[in-house]
Chains A and B, each alone.
Chain A
Amino acid sequence: MSHSTGQHYVGSHDRASPMNPRETTTTVKVDRDHRVTIGEYTSPNARIRCRDVGVFYGEKQAVQEINLDIGKHQVIALIGPSGCGKSTFLRCLNRMNDTIPDCRVTGEITMDGQPIYGEDVDVVPLRAQVGMVFQKPNPFPKSIFENVAYGPRIHGLVHVKSDMEEIVEKSLRRAGLWDEVKDRLAQPGTGLSGGQQQRLCIARTIAVNPEVILMDEPCSALDPIATAKIEQLIDELRTLYTIVIVTHSMQQAARVSQRTAYFHLGRLIEVGETAQVFTNPQHQLTEDYITGRFG
């Protein structure tokens, strides 16, 4: 999927192919180690600011020197070849890396000005604010209703049954699943189809009123029709939430995101408006990836 490129990028492919990469780097003011991120990584209305973020697994450094702002009410897509550290970086944003032994995060990440890796920061409210949807749909082995109600329940958001029903309905509606499941809320969530399960997981995330939703390749395990539905949903959710999506599919990034960040070997190579990154990549590596030379 990621190898194929859209028709309108063929031109850029032609332009880049005869060039020696080394010569290219001189033209776009980047050293050969790709030490500097190209493009505007800051954002005027940033919700999350990352400065010089690095992630280590034991001795091995998986991600280094990431500087990136994530603005309000927009979708930012993280793209790059497998193993480039984009998922690892994503998991830093709600401290999901804490669950992995030997994993260490350096640098600074702030949310609304507060450092999220501070000593006294509790991950529980952080994760309530920054929700996450995973690659493979992972509904709990509970009923559909309970899946959605779980978050509000543990956080004590509602105490009355009718309020809970309201939240569940609202969340399922926002996730575009209500009409499909409203008659079988008591059935197990694992009985739904893959696409429905993934939307159930989105509904589950929405139910705790997060401000940011992280999505880690949310469509990679789904068929094209289910994917289209999720992509449409992401577009709708943009008005209410800030969304960071990791994706393998460049088309998907182009379709759903406003900004795109390209990762390569644990570094953020280039970031910018999606249209600009895809039509006029500044870095040779970005261009090679987008034109399908590797990835």
Chain B
Amino acid sequence: MSDSSTQKTANARSHDIVMAGLGKRRRAERRFRAYGLVSIMAALVFLVLLFTSIVSKGYSAFLYTNLALDITFDPQMIDPEGARSPEALASGDYDALWKSAIYKLFPDVTERQKKRALTGFVGSSAGQRLRAMVKADPSLIGSTQQVWLPVDDTIDMLAKGNLGDAAELSDKNKDSLIWLTELQNQSRIRKAINKEFFMNGDSREPEAAGIWGAVLGSAFTLLVTIGLSLPIGIAAAIYLEEFASRNRWTDLIEVNINNLAAVPSIVFGLLGLAVFINLFGLPRSSPLVGGLVLTLMTLPVIIIAGRSALKSVPPSVREAALGIGASPVQMVFHHVLPLAMPGMLTGAIIGTARALGESAPLLMIGMVAFIVDVPTGLTSPATVLPVQIYLWADSPERAFVERTSAAIMVLLVFLVMMNGLAVYLRKRYERRW
């Protein structure tokens, strides 16, 4: 019984020690918990920072500053011979039209240098626009119209206040600011929806640069990617999960797929360059090659997702099908596949969304070239949205910063839509066995 009494004192002693150390341990507990919370908050702050910086830089690109000029469509400048043929109309000096119009607005500007600055006020695409107007409606010639023309990209930045305080401006921009205020007072300045941004291809001039070419390029590329990776990926998943016997070959394939999923995307670009372009001679910069490269990149993702979707179909379904005399192939295609399809599609959409945001491998196969034309097919040179973002991000003009951010916003909208679709599919067809 002495054992018992020593135990009793030991218990009491232990209890005292535990109580004594408690405060310190509780503080450590709270500290640790705070670390965790701070970490999550840090990550979320990064997220918010990323979005706010891009949205705050980019939202203004959806509007563009336009200037109203009273253009006199002077026949002398457009078509002195009066032939009115398309060729003659095309060769007219349209720049002179808007130049004289803007000089008229500021008659007291006579200094040569300032005059030049004044012509720099209007976007350089103004002449083309006027030409297009006349081409569409030759009866304009001789009349005077108020025409809204996009201003130069620097002026647009100035109007949006993106160049900083008045004190920081260069002399030239100070002049521009004075003119701008005067024009604003005459209500000749307005902000309109920047249609060009959505409808044009790329351009060296920020005010004419748009994302439509890149969007179409992305669409063509994804078309190839989905068209190839979806059937092949699903077929491979079916084979590995349902038909392949487990042996060294299938083990090898499995390890292979897992590794491929983690190979850097740029290596796929090297593969595309060496095999598709140099070996097969497929056209450079084309959505076809881009799609093929992205297919190879997306396949492992789709296969892995497809296999786990097939795995989640309970064996009872298979046994039931085999039990009524279906062949293994019929079992898979009639019973297992329909049940696994939503899961497979979800994986495929997520994989495709990743392909949509991918740019590194596409740089390798020449989709980074400067392409003005909107692509017309799978083999015409094109670029894709992420690469367009990369290209614009590299451009020195201030105006491209805002366009880059806006293009990013468009890309993110697409991605959100795709991921939303995937989440919807998962929710809609979620099944617990």
Contacts and interface: CB of A to CB of B under 8 A. Distances in A.
Contacts of A210: 11
Interface string A121-156: 010110011000000000000000000000000111
Give the interface centre of A128, A154, A208, A239 by most chain B CB atoms within 10 Å.
A128
B4 A125 contact: no
A240 B15 contact: no
A199 B11 CA distance: 21
Nearest to A210: B11
B21 A155 contact: yes
A157 interface: yes
Given A239-B3, A239-B4, A240-B4, A125 B22 contact: yes
A156 B4 contact: no
Nearest to A206: B7
A155 B3 contact: no
Given A240-B3, A240-B4, A240-B7, A125 B26 contact: no
A211 interface: yes
A196 interface: no
A125 B3 contact: no
Contacts of B22: 122, 124-125
A265 B10 CA distance: 39
Nearest to A155: B18
Interface in A189-218: 208-211
Q: Chain A interface secondary structure, helix, strand, loop or mixed?
A: loop
Given A157-B14, A209-B14, A125 B19 contact: yes
Interface in B31-62: none
Contacts of A73: 4
Contacts of B19: 125
A157 B17 contact: yes
B405 to A, nearest CB: 43
Contacts of A122: 22, 26
Contacts, number: 42
B25 interface: yes
A156 B25 CA distance: 10
B14 A124 contact: no
Contact of B11 (A124, A155, A156, A211): A211
Give the interface centre of A157, A209, A239, A240 by most chain B CB atoms within 10 Å.
A209
Nearest to B21: A156
Nearest to B24: A156
Contacts of A154: 25
Contact of A209 (B1, B11, B25): B11
A204 to B, nearest CB: 15
Interface in A71-104: 73
Interface in A141-175: 154-157
Contact of A128 (B7, B14, B20, B26): B14
A201 B25 CA distance: 24
Given A209-B10, A209-B11, A124 B3 contact: no
A39 to B, nearest CB: 27
Interface string A103-129: 000000000000000000010110011
B15 A129 contact: yes
A157 B1 CA distance: 24
Interface in B170-206: none
Given A122-B26, A124-B25, A125-B19, A208 B14 contact: yes
A125 B15 CA distance: 7
Contacts of B7: 209, 240-241
Nearest to B9: A209
B5 to A, nearest CB: 10
Nearest to B20: A156
Given A239-B3, A239-B4, A125 B18 contact: yes
A208 to B, nearest CB: 7
Give the interface centre of B1, B3, B21 by most chain A CB atoms within 10 Å.
B21
A155 B22 CA distance: 8
Contacts of A156: 17-18, 20-21
B183 to A, nearest CB: 65
Interface string A225-242: 000000000000001110
Contacts of A211: 11
Interface in A261-288: none
A232 to B, nearest CB: 17
Interface string B110-129: 00000000000000000000
A155 B4 contact: no
Contacts of B26: 122
Contact of B18 (A124, A239, A240): A124
15 contacts: A73-B4, A122-B22, A122-B26, A124-B22, A125-B18, A125-B22, A155-B21, A157-B18, A209-B7, A209-B14, A210-B11, A211-B11, A239-B4, A240-B3, A240-B7
Q: Which 3 A-B pairs give the minimum distances between C-beta atoms? A: A209-B14, A156-B21, A125-B18
Given A128-B14, A157-B18, 14 more contacts: A125-B15, A129-B11, A154-B25, A155-B14, A155-B18, A156-B21, A157-B17, A209-B10, A210-B11, A239-B1, A239-B3, A239-B4, A240-B4, A241-B7
